Amino acid sequence: MMDSLAFTLIRATPEDAALLQELQRQAFWPLLEKYQDGETNPATETVATVREKIQNPDYDTYRIVNAGQTVGVIRIARKNPGRYRIGRIYVNPEWQGQGIAQAAILACEAMYPDARVWELDTIEQEAKNCHLYETLGYRRTGGREVINERMTLVGFEKTMGVKP
Protein backbone atom coordinates (compact mmCIF):
# COMPACT_ATOMS: atom_id res chain seq x y z
CA MET A 1 0.00 0.00 0.00
CA MET A 2 2.99 2.28 0.52
CA ASP A 3 3.58 2.54 -3.23
CA SER A 4 0.50 4.74 -3.63
CA LEU A 5 1.23 6.70 -0.46
CA ALA A 6 2.14 10.29 -1.17
CA PHE A 7 3.05 12.37 1.86
CA THR A 8 5.35 15.19 2.83
CA LEU A 9 7.28 15.83 6.01
CA ILE A 10 6.90 19.48 7.06
CA ARG A 11 8.80 20.96 9.98
CA ALA A 12 6.33 21.73 12.79
CA THR A 13 6.13 25.24 14.20
CA PRO A 14 4.88 26.45 17.60
CA GLU A 15 1.65 27.46 15.86
CA ASP A 16 1.02 23.76 15.13
CA ALA A 17 0.99 22.82 18.83
CA ALA A 18 -2.80 22.65 19.32
CA LEU A 19 -3.26 20.55 16.18
CA LEU A 20 -0.45 18.18 17.14
CA GLN A 21 -1.67 17.88 20.73
CA GLU A 22 -5.15 16.89 19.51
CA LEU A 23 -3.72 14.39 17.02
CA GLN A 24 -1.43 13.01 19.73
CA ARG A 25 -4.40 12.63 22.09
CA GLN A 26 -6.38 10.72 19.45
CA ALA A 27 -3.44 8.44 18.64
CA PHE A 28 -2.43 7.63 22.22
CA TRP A 29 -5.80 7.62 24.03
CA PRO A 30 -6.51 3.92 23.27
CA LEU A 31 -3.09 3.02 24.73
CA LEU A 32 -3.78 5.15 27.81
CA GLU A 33 -7.03 3.25 28.39
CA LYS A 34 -5.32 -0.10 27.79
CA TYR A 35 -2.18 0.42 29.89
CA GLN A 36 -3.33 3.04 32.44
CA ASP A 37 0.02 4.88 32.13
CA GLY A 38 -1.29 8.33 32.94
CA GLU A 39 2.07 9.76 34.00
CA THR A 40 3.93 8.76 30.83
CA ASN A 41 1.30 8.59 28.09
CA PRO A 42 1.51 11.39 25.48
CA ALA A 43 -2.31 11.65 25.40
CA THR A 44 -2.11 13.57 28.68
CA GLU A 45 0.33 16.25 27.45
CA THR A 46 -0.91 19.82 27.27
CA VAL A 47 -0.70 22.14 24.27
CA ALA A 48 2.01 24.08 26.15
CA THR A 49 4.11 20.93 26.59
CA VAL A 50 3.75 20.05 22.90
CA ARG A 51 4.75 23.63 21.99
CA GLU A 52 7.85 23.39 24.25
CA LYS A 53 8.90 20.17 22.53
CA ILE A 54 8.48 21.73 19.09
CA GLN A 55 10.67 24.65 20.21
CA ASN A 56 13.34 22.43 21.80
CA PRO A 57 16.50 22.82 19.67
CA ASP A 58 17.52 19.20 20.39
CA TYR A 59 14.49 17.89 18.46
CA ASP A 60 13.21 18.16 14.92
CA THR A 61 9.44 17.69 14.88
CA TYR A 62 7.79 16.97 11.53
CA ARG A 63 4.14 16.88 10.56
CA ILE A 64 3.33 13.98 8.24
CA VAL A 65 1.07 15.59 5.65
CA ASN A 66 -1.03 13.73 3.08
CA ALA A 67 -3.31 15.58 0.64
CA GLY A 68 -2.92 18.78 2.67
CA GLN A 69 -3.97 17.12 5.93
CA THR A 70 -1.67 16.42 8.90
CA VAL A 71 -2.08 12.68 9.48
CA GLY A 72 0.81 12.09 11.87
CA VAL A 73 3.98 13.33 13.52
CA ILE A 74 7.55 12.13 13.86
CA ARG A 75 10.07 13.68 16.26
CA ILE A 76 13.81 13.18 15.78
CA ALA A 77 16.43 13.84 18.46
CA ARG A 78 20.15 14.26 17.89
CA LYS A 79 21.80 12.26 20.67
CA ASN A 80 25.44 12.82 19.68
CA PRO A 81 27.39 12.78 16.42
CA GLY A 82 26.11 9.94 14.28
CA ARG A 83 23.40 8.84 16.75
CA TYR A 84 19.75 9.81 16.40
CA ARG A 85 16.58 8.86 18.22
CA ILE A 86 13.01 8.59 17.03
CA GLY A 87 11.55 10.34 20.05
CA ARG A 88 7.96 9.82 19.04
CA ILE A 89 5.96 8.81 16.01
CA TYR A 90 2.20 8.69 15.79
CA VAL A 91 -0.45 8.53 13.11
CA ASN A 92 -4.12 9.52 13.32
CA PRO A 93 -6.07 6.30 13.99
CA GLU A 94 -8.07 6.86 10.78
CA TRP A 95 -4.84 6.65 8.78
CA GLN A 96 -3.13 3.79 10.62
CA GLY A 97 -2.36 0.55 8.81
CA GLN A 98 -1.49 2.25 5.52
CA GLY A 99 2.31 2.21 5.80
CA ILE A 100 2.58 5.87 6.84
CA ALA A 101 4.76 5.28 9.91
CA GLN A 102 7.10 2.99 7.99
CA ALA A 103 7.44 5.46 5.12
CA ALA A 104 8.00 8.39 7.50
CA ILE A 105 10.76 6.53 9.35
CA LEU A 106 12.50 5.66 6.09
CA ALA A 107 12.17 9.27 4.90
CA CYS A 108 13.72 10.57 8.13
CA GLU A 109 16.56 8.08 7.92
CA ALA A 110 17.30 9.45 4.44
CA MET A 111 17.09 13.07 5.68
CA TYR A 112 19.89 12.48 8.19
CA PRO A 113 22.66 10.89 6.10
CA ASP A 114 25.24 11.34 8.89
CA ALA A 115 23.27 8.97 11.15
CA ARG A 116 25.17 5.79 11.84
CA VAL A 117 22.81 4.55 14.56
CA TRP A 118 19.09 5.12 15.15
CA GLU A 119 17.38 4.25 18.42
CA LEU A 120 13.84 4.22 19.81
CA ASP A 121 11.64 2.75 22.53
CA THR A 122 8.24 1.15 22.11
CA ILE A 123 5.72 -0.79 24.15
CA GLU A 124 6.76 -4.43 24.35
CA GLN A 125 3.14 -5.58 24.54
CA GLU A 126 2.30 -3.88 21.22
CA ALA A 127 3.35 -6.63 18.79
CA LYS A 128 2.47 -4.56 15.69
CA ASN A 129 4.81 -1.76 16.76
CA CYS A 130 7.65 -4.18 17.51
CA HIS A 131 7.09 -5.89 14.14
CA LEU A 132 7.15 -2.54 12.31
CA TYR A 133 10.55 -1.64 13.74
CA GLU A 134 11.98 -5.12 13.20
CA THR A 135 10.80 -5.03 9.56
CA LEU A 136 12.77 -1.78 9.14
CA GLY A 137 15.96 -3.37 10.49
CA TYR A 138 15.74 -2.30 14.13
CA ARG A 139 16.94 -4.86 16.69
CA ARG A 140 16.07 -5.09 20.36
CA THR A 141 18.84 -3.74 22.55
CA GLY A 142 17.87 -5.61 25.69
CA GLY A 143 16.95 -2.35 27.39
CA ARG A 144 13.65 -2.59 29.25
CA GLU A 145 11.74 -0.19 31.47
CA VAL A 146 8.73 -1.44 33.38
CA ILE A 147 6.17 1.38 33.47
CA ASN A 148 3.53 -0.59 35.38
CA GLU A 149 2.23 -4.16 35.69
CA ARG A 150 0.60 -3.87 32.24
CA MET A 151 3.31 -2.12 30.22
CA THR A 152 7.04 -2.36 29.57
CA LEU A 153 9.08 -0.20 27.19
CA VAL A 154 11.77 -1.94 25.16
CA GLY A 155 14.68 -0.39 23.32
CA PHE A 156 15.45 -0.86 19.64
CA GLU A 157 18.46 0.19 17.60
CA LYS A 158 19.39 0.18 13.94
CA THR A 159 22.90 0.45 12.59
CA MET A 160 22.87 2.05 9.16
CA GLY A 161 24.43 0.08 6.33
CA VAL A 162 23.60 -3.25 7.99
CA LYS A 163 20.96 -5.30 6.17
CA PRO A 164 18.00 -6.50 8.27
* Contact predicate 137/103, CB 8 Å: no
What structural domains does the chain harbor? 2-159 (3.40.630.30)
Question: What sign results for the dihedral spanned by CA atoms 49, 55, 59, 64?
Answer: positive
pTM for this prediction:
0.92
pLDDT in tens, the chain (164 residues): 334 568 899 999 999 999 999 999 999 999 999 999 988 999 999 999 999 999 999 999 999 999 889 999 999 999 999 999 999 999 999 999 899 999 999 999 999 999 999 999 999 999 999 999 999 999 999 999 999 999 999 999 999 986 65
